[in-house]
Structure 1
Amino acid sequence: MAISRSRLDKLLSDKLNIKRKDVRLLLAQKRVFVDGSLALDIDLIVDSFSLITVDGDIVQANQAKYVMLHKPVGVVSATKDELHKTVIDLLDVPYKSSLHIAGRLDLNSSGLLLLTNDSRWSERLSKPDSKVAKSYQVTLANKLTEDMIPAFLNGMYFEFENITTKPAKLEVLSDYVAKVELVEGKYHQIKRMFGRFRNPVVKLHRQSIGNLQLDVTLKPGESRELHPVEVQSIF
């Protein structure tokens, strides 16, 4: 759900199908509450998540939703797809059609995926200025070498887009497994960076976004809502 903002009098006029002068009367009679507080100002700016009541009856009660999903391999990060099962198909919540994806994973990648109806939150999450780090466990076809570490840290130039990647942290966990942490998400970035060393990625699993770790109790395909503290902990 994209967050729309409008004046209170316009919203009530549209919702209740009454004239704006009648809205002014409702406010003057102290019959309107916004987020639990008495509303008296017709110029008050409200958004699609503002709780609005008139005479105690709910006029609008949309709630921001934030969902963590353990995305399996073979499921596409999309709301609709004619060929593959989508991450939306995996959800069992009545509001799933209102959700959008905050940071995709490709078809053959797995791990932490976030979905929300709060566009301001997802936009903040994706902005480079937010510098939200994403952590991945990567399994490679060939042995890792120490010279990869400074190459990731210094950034790599991709001629096709004419860009240099931001510094990424590479930690060698074993001969074939590494942890990669980066603050951006260019197209197939991790696979292309290892491709510079002719080392194909066999598995790519996202473990965390910011301070939010994938819940270890979630099996592939399972999901749960984020706790309020988790929503803010990412940044």
Structure 2
Amino acid sequence: MRLDKFIATHSEASRSLAKVAILSGRAKVNGVVVKDQGLKLKPEDEIIVNGQLITESGEVYIALYKPEDVLSSTGDDEEDDTVIDLVDGFTHKELHIAGRLDKDATGLVLLTSDGKWSHRVTSPKFSCEKVYHVTLIDPIDEEIVEIFAEGLYLRGEEKRTLPAKLELLGEREGRLTITEGKYHQVKRMFGAIGNKVLELKRENIGAVTLRDLEPGEFYELDDAEIQSFLK
């Protein structure tokens, strides 16, 4: 991993602050000041920034295929099955959900113990793309593509939704890409134009996909997937 990425991942510093620390000579690798932010680190390297040792945090990053009727909850007081029940071997971690799904929805859910990373995934200011496959009760008019691209008003909201991309896949099927995470946003968007979502499946969050997972299965994110939210 690059030096700047390592510092940003395993400390409170943002990527930009990590670069400043390196370029100003406040980062040491194995006791030597290093100003090369792209330096490739080895597992045994010791990194010190501002006199503090930076170690791997042991954080957990999981991509789960949430089945239908499973709650997006990490609580242990729920009567129904929750996503935390599906991640065997990680229940001892303080996991939280980076992007929830309704109980009747399926697809990609991210779970992590890293609060800073989770904020990068969910905060509107980072415009993380979420991709959904939708099946609707009524046919989709082609004009809806333009309406979604321009943004529309949802009930109770004072501002339009941000531009969204709708790809028509069939008479009643589509793939919707949004960069917000408003409450029940996808269902409300189609409700605003007089349609109703019958099935909702999230396929992507940023660069993370379902890969070849089956419902109820999960995998740990690789370094490239983790870092994609920190750029």
TM range (shorter): 0.7 to 0.9
Paired residue for 2:46? 37
Paired residue for 2:66? 71
Q: Is the 8 Å Cα contact of residues 67 and 116 (structure 1) preserved in structure 2?
A: yes
Paired residue for 2:108? 112
Check 1:187–1:200 CA distance in 2 against 1; reply closer, same or farther (3 A cut): same
The one-letter amino acid paired with 1:37 is E
Check 1:145–1:229 CA distance in 2 against 1; reply closer, same or farther (3 A cut): same
Paired residue for 2:200? 204
Cα deviations across residues 173-229 of structure 1 (Å, max 9, x unaligned)? 00010000000011111111111232110100001111222112x110111111111
1:169 pairs with one of 153, 165, 171: 165
Check 1:37–1:4 CA distance in 2 against 1; reply closer, same or farther (3 A cut): closer
Larger deviation, residues 156-165 vs 132-141: 156-165
What is the rounded CA distance, in whole Å, between the counterparts of 1:129 and 1:170 in structure 2?
22
What is the rounded CA distance, in whole Å, between the counterparts of 2:148 and 2:64 in structure 1?
28
Deviation at 1:62, TM superposition (A): 4.2
Where in structure 1 are there 5+ consecutive unaligned residues?
6-34, 52-60
The one-letter amino acid paired with 1:203 is E
Check 1:83–1:4 CA distance in 2 against 1; reply closer, same or farther (3 A cut): farther
What is the rounded CA distance, in whole Å, between the counterparts of 1:176 and 1:96 in structure 2?
42
Deviation at 1:161, TM superposition (A): 3.1
Where in structure 2 are there 5+ consecutive unaligned residues?
1-9, 13-43
Residue 232 of structure 1 pairs with residue 223 of structure 2: no
Q: Is the 8 Å Cα contact of residues 88 and 97 (structure 1) preserved in structure 2?
A: no
Deviation at 1:45, TM superposition (A): 4.2
Deviation at 1:160, TM superposition (A): 1.2
1:143 pairs with one of 139, 152, 156: 139
What is the rounded CA distance, in whole Å, between the counterparts of 2:207 and 2:88 in structure 1?
26
Paired residue for 1:102? 98
What is the rounded CA distance, in whole Å, between the counterparts of 2:92 and 2:65 in structure 1?
15
Deviation at 1:82, TM superposition (A): 2.2
The one-letter amino acid paired with 1:110 is T
Secondary structure, counterpart of 1:98 in structure 2 = coil
Cα deviations across residues 122-152 of structure 1 (Å, max 9, x unaligned)? 1111122222111100000111111111111
Indicate the RMSD between aligned Cα atoms, in angstroms: 2.2
Paired residue for 2:120? 124
Secondary structure, counterpart of 2:93 in structure 1 = helix
Q: Is the 8 Å Cα contact of residues 84 and 91 (structure 2) preserved in structure 1?
A: no
Q: Is the 8 Å Cα contact of residues 93 and 113 (structure 2) preserved in structure 1?
A: no
Scaled by the length of structure 1, the TM-score of the pair is: 0.73
- Residue correspondences, number: 189
Paired residue for 2:28? none
Deviation at 1:96, TM superposition (A): 4.6
Calculate percent identity across the aligned residue pairs: 41
Q: Give every structure 1 segment of 4 or more consecutive aligned residues whose post-TM-superposition deviation is greater than 2 Å.
A: 35-39, 43-46, 94-97
Larger deviation, residues 92-101 vs 186-195: 92-101
The structure with the largest alpha-carbon Rg is 1
